[in-house]
């Protein structure tokens, strides 16, 4: 025989009751009739509580009472033929009259005892169960209404009564046998004490009723019908990627539901566990969902954790002082005090020195706990053996749960890595001695980010999401979006990775979207839905979204974003940039960026600052980290100038080739920055700094290759004009080189603590002779690469290769987040 328990939403409306009847029709095909346990209609228990509170305060509650009655009557009229309505309406009317008298008594006394409250609440289950039972009778004539106060017996702890299992088992069996062959509709949640006063089993107690009956009658299965797809890996309102768990052990289900997953009431597990009766959580509104099974011998999946649960409102109380050291009875006294006063302690941590104890409670209990402690430990406080208890508010608990954790090393490492990378500060940690659960206390504001980050870290078979906020939609920014769009399906399939653009801005417009911006039509969306660009606002909104695996991508050529980097790092957001201005301003700033990123556990990636997508920064970093010593760096690092010299041959005209380089996307937005050596200087400066030199701009000497008039051109247009006017100067340079069978090369060098950029003519024996297109080349001569240097060569400018370099940086930051 199966027990089927339906929650409030399943009896909350005409539609849901119709769905319930269909489920019962199917169940009725089984050999034995099921037992049906029902909750009050959704929202009714809260409403009854509110009415009772109002009555106790001498306030009017009659409107609510009328509405409540009406809600039940409407259902009866909708689901029963007129001829069958009367007896049901009459019985419910009696219930409502009793309830009204009771509330009137509370009103008169202006006092609401726990006992009276339990009685008030009992009408929720009584009304719903009686009503549904009689509606069901139309289809199942053997339906019988059963008030659980007849056979579920408890102590007199009103509000949260404890079940007398032996007596209850006996009475339940007796009732069941007396009603053999019937389909019983039992009120959930309510019971009675020895004196036959109505008690309740605590919020969510209908689940418990189902388990008590299941255990007494050795049911084959306890089905909990609710409005969600079973237990999930995390709260689906918080984690979009959360998915339903097919199977759990009782302990896992207990741990998960204890911390937040409100799908099942935790005490339900005990009777089922003791009798090894499977519990299955099903969805009334999605009957095709197979359900989450909670049972013995549940398969431990390959995943090390089953789920992540959380409580979003918690306070912690810190107790410290020498009075605790070695005092065996201290924590006993403390926690029995709290339990006596019905303060539910969610989690406890104690330092190994026994010098401090931290425990977590509901915020409303924190002040009460401090008062109680101050009273109980008055002597210790006066003698300064105990410090004044401290309360921290605005906190949340995140817990990872799974039986498999015990056998898998590195679980807590993974948890703390995910939290640390995302700038989530941990206030307290507790690991259940069972190792089924690791709980951390964090700021409430970080909870959603933390749960998502941890979910991404553990469920690696799901696509991990990188959230990016991009500045700049020019040459590079645009190309990056195109590449991302094309590559996305591949990344999802082969790398379990999803890159979501959450925000984008150029100088005109900005747009941030909590759902991400679709890349197929980002430009239209930005133009039509974007607001006026405002860098400060963009950054503030990005921080406020507080997303996991978050990156700020600066694809501008502007100094404006740079002062914001610091605050971005401090918000634990990594920075990826092709903009060289940040790293080539003052050394102090460069150093601060590096230190801040390190301090906040995030990355600062700028591979494209030197040689576009070519692996130059990375190579230098690898050499340095592995202890190699850089003796000399020689390099051609201006793609633009390289292109010009590679094409300035024969009859070619200098300024036309410069134009070509600009059109091909090799130049800086302002091509004067390339030709006057500034862009190259920035690259040399960044390389020198990464190689360990505290260089400033003036430490890189530049041999200028332009006539003064070109250098001083006030606009780009006038610059081109000057290049044209100085055609002879460039032609002469070219002819001189050609006459000696040489080529022109603009070469940077870093050696003996000196950096320079010079215009040279090199012959065919020079390693930099053979170049084409926008090629960059760099040779590192080091302790280990002494005889023959390590050389990196290839296209060093252009939108495709640069955007690809930015893309790779994004992926690399993401990989470290794993």
Ligand X SMILES: NC(=O)C1=CN([C@@H]2O[C@H](COP(=O)(O)OP(=O)(O)OC[C@H]3O[C@@H](n4cnc5c(N)ncnc54)[C@H](O)[C@@H]3O)[C@@H](O)[C@H]2O)C=CC1
Q: Name the one range near ligand LTNE7NMQ by CB under 6 A: 133-141, 203-211, 439-447, 634-642.
A: 634-642
Q: How far apart are CA 197 and CA 203, in angstroms?
A: 18
Q: Could you say which of 169, 235, 674, 699 contacts ligand LTNE7NMQ (CB under 6 A)?
A: 674
All residues at 6 or more sequence positions from 391 whose CB lies less than 8 Å from its CB, including other chains: 315, 316, 317, 318, 366, 367, 370
Beta carbons within 8 Å of 265's beta carbon, 6+ residues apart:
202, 203, 204, 205, 206, 207, 208, 257
Tell whether residue 579 is a contact of ligand X (CB under 6 A). Answer: yes
229 binds ligand X (CB under 6 A): no
- Our finding on whether 638 is near ligand LTNE7NMQ (CB under 6 A) is yes
Q: Smallest distance, Å, CB 690 to ligand LTNE7NMQ?
A: 15
Q: What CA dihedral angle connects 754, 757, 758 and 759, to 10 degrees?
A: 170
Active site residue 137: no
Largest CA distance in the chain: 116
Q: Choosing among ligand LTNE7NMQ, Na ion, ligand X, none, which partner's interface includes residue 638 (Cβ < 5 to 8 Å by kind)?
A: ligand LTNE7NMQ
615: nearest Cα among 780, 784, 814, 749: 780
In this complex, which beta carbon is closest to ligand LTNE7NMQ, that of residue 292 or of residue 676?
A: 676
What is the spatial order of strands in the sheet that 775-782 belongs to? 700-702, 754-762, 743-751, 630-636, 775-782, 790-795
How is the beta sheet containing 464-471 ordered, strand by strand? Answer: 531-532, 509-512, 497-505, 464-471, 550-554, 574-577, 604-605
> Nearest distance from residue 566's CB to ligand X, in Å?
16
477 binds ligand LTNE7NMQ (CB under 6 A): no
**By the rule CB under 6 A, 283 interacts with ligand X:** no
Interface positions, 658-677, toward ligand X (CB under 6 A): 665-666, 668-669
By DSSP bridging, strand 198-200 and strand 221-226 are unpaired
558 touches, from ligand LTNE7NMQ, Na ion, ligand X, none (C-beta below 5 to 8 Å by class):
ligand X
Residue of 11, 526, 614, 675 interacting with Na ion (CB under 5 A): 614
Q: What residues between 457 and 496 interact with ligand X by CB under 6 A?
A: 471-477
> Based on C-alpha coordinates, what's the Rg of the chain?
36
Closest CA to 346 of 437, 268, 230: 437
Q: Which is nearer to Na ion, 446 or 607 (CB)?
A: 607
| Residues 225 and 23: beta-carbon distance below 8 Å | yes
Question: Candidates 328-336, 422-430, 499-507, 753-761 — which segment interacts with ligand X by CB under 6 A?
Answer: 499-507
User: Which of 558, 760, 781, 812 lies at the binding interface for ligand X (CB under 6 A)?
Assistant: 558
Centre a 10 Å sphere on the Cβ of residue 742 and count the other Cβ atoms it contains. 16
- Spacing of C-alpha 430 from chain mean position: 20
Catalytic residue (choose from 683, 741, 754, 793): 683
Q: Which residues pair with 776 in a beta bridge?
A: 794
Interface residue with Na ion among 607, 668, 674, 690 (CB under 5 A) is 607
- The binder of ligand LTNE7NMQ chosen from 679, 690, 775, 809 (CB under 6 A): 679
Of 130, 522, 604, 666, the one binding ligand LTNE7NMQ by CB under 6 A: 666
Compute the distance between CA of residue 295 and CA of residue 265 in angstroms, rounded to an integer: 16
Q: Which residue is nearest to Na ion (CB)?
A: 611
Q: Comparing C-alpha atoms, which of 391, 366, 389, 367 is closest to residue 378? A: 389
If the CB atoms of residues 9 and 640 are measured against ligand LTNE7NMQ, the closer one turns out to be: 640
The CB-of-814 to ligand X minimum distance in angstroms stands at 21
Residue 392: φ, ψ to 5°? -115, 130
Q: 276 — alpha (psi -120 to 50), left (phi > 0) or beta?
A: left
The window from 143-151, 412-420, 552-560, 684-692 that contacts ligand X (CB under 6 A) reads: 552-560
# residues contacting ligand LTNE7NMQ (CB under 6 A): 11
249 is a contact residue toward ligand LTNE7NMQ (CB under 6 A) = no
Stretch that binds Na ion, among 592-600, 615-623, 758-766, 768-776 (CB under 5 A): 615-623
CB of 503 to ligand X, least distance (A): 11
- Partner from ligand X, Na ion, ligand LTNE7NMQ, none binding residue 477, C-beta < 5-8 Å depending on class: ligand X
Q: Are strands 221-226 and 2-6 parallel, antiparallel or unpaired?
A: parallel
Is 560 an interacting residue with respect to ligand X (CB under 6 A)? yes
Catalytic annotation, residues: 683
């Amino acid at each position: 025989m199966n027990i089927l328990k339906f929650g409030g939403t399943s009896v909350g409306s005409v539609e849901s009751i119709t769905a319930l009847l269909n489920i019962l029709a199917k169940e009725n095909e089984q050999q034995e009739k099921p037992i049906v346990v029902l909750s009050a209609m959704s929202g009714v228990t809260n409403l009854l509580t509110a009415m009772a509170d109002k009555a106790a305060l001498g306030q009017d509650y009659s409107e609510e009472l009328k509405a409540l009655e009406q809600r039940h009557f409407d259902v009866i009229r909708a689901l029963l033929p007129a001829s069958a309505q009367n007896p049901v309406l009459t019985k419910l009317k009696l219930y409502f009259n009793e309830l009204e008298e009771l509330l009137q008594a509370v009103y008169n006394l202006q006092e609401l005892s726990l006992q009276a409250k339990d009685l008030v609440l009992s009408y929720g289950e009584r009304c719903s169960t009686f009503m549904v039972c009689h509606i069901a009778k139309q289809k199942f004539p053997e339906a019988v209404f059963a008030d659980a106060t007849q056979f579920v017996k408890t102590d007199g702890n009103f509000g949260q009564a404890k079940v007398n299992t032996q007596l209850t088992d006996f009475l339940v069996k007796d009732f069941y046998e007396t009603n053999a062959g019937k389909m019983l509709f039992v009120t959930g949640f309510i019971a009675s004490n020895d004196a036959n006063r109505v008690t309740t089993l605590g919020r969510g107690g209908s689940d418990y009723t189902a388990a008590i009956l299941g255990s007494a009658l050795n049911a084959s299965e306890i089905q909990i019908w609710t409005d969600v797809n079973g237990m999930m890996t995390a709260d689906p309102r918080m984690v979009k990627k959360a998915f339903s768990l097919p199977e759990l052990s009782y302990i896992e289900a207990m741990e998960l539901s204890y911390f937040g997953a409100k799908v099942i009431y935790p005490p339900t597990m005990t009777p089922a566990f003791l009798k090894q009766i499977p519990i299955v959580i099903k969805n009334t509104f999605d009957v095709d969902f197979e359900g989450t099974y909670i049972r013995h011998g549940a398969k431990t999946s390959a995943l090390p954790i089953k789920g992540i649960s959380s409580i979003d409102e918690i306070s912690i109380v810190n107790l410290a002082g020498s009075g605790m050291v070695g005092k065996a009875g201290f924590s006993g006294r403390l926690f029995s005090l709290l339990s006596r006063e019905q303060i539910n302690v969610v989690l406890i941590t104690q330092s190994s020195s026994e010098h401090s104890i931290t425990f977590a409670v509901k915020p409303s209990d924190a002040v009460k706990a401090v008062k109680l402690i101050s009273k109980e430990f008055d002597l210790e406080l006066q003698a300064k053996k105990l410090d004044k208890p401290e309360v921290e508010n605005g906190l949340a608990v995140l817990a990872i749960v799974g039986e498999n954790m015990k056998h898998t090393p590195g679980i807590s490492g993974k948890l703390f890595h995910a939290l640390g990378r995302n700038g989530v500060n941990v206030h307290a940690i507790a690991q259940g001695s069972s190792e089924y659960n690791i709980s951390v206390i964090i700021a409430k504001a970080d909870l959603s980010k933390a749960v998502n980050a941890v979910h991404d870290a553990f469920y690696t078979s799901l696509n991990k999401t990188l959230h990016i906020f991009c500045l700049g939609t020019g040459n590079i920014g645009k190309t990056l979006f195109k590449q991302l769009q094309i590559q996305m399906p591949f990344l999802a399939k082969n790398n379990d990775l999803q890159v979501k653009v959450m925000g984008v801005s150029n100088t005109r417009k900005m747009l941030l979207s909590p759902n991400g911006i679709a890349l197929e039509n980002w430009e239209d969306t930005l133009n039509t839905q974007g607001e006026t660009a405002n860098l400060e606002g963009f950054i503030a909104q990005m921080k406020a979204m507080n997303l996991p695996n978050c990156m700020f991508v600066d694809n501008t050529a502007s100094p404006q974003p740079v002062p914001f980097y610091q605050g971005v790092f401090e918000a634990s957001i990594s920075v990826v940039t092709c903009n060289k201005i940040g790293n080539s301003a003052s050394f102090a700033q460069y150093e601060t960026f590096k230190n801040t990123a390190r301090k906040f556990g995030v990355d600062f990636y700028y591979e494209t600052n030197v040689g576009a997508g070519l692996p130059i920064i990375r190579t230098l970093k690898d050499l340095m980290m592995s202890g190699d010593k850089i003796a000399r760096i020689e390099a051609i690092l201006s793609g633009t100038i390289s292109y010009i010299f590679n094409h300035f041959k024969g009859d070619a005209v200098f300024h036309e080739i410069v134009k070509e380089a600009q059109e091909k996307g090799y130049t800086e937005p302002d091509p004067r920055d390339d030709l006057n050596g500034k862009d190259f200087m920035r690259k040399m400066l960044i390389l020198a700094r990464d190689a360990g030199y505290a260089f400033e701009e003036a430490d890189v000497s530049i041999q200028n290759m332009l006539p003064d008039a070109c250098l001083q051109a006030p606009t780009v247009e006038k610059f081109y004009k000057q290049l044209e006017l100085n055609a002879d100067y460039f032609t002469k340079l070219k002819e001189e080189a050609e006459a000696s069978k040489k080529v022109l090369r603009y070469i940077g060098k870093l050696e003996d603590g000196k950096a320079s950029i010079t215009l040279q003519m090199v012959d065919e024996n020079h390693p930099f002779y053979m170049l084409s297109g926008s090629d960059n080349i760099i040779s590192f001569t080091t302790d280990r690469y002494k005889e023959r240097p390590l050389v990196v060569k290839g296209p060093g400018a252009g939108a495709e290769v640069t955007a690809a370099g930015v893309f790779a940086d994004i992926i690399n930051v993401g990989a470290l987040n794993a």
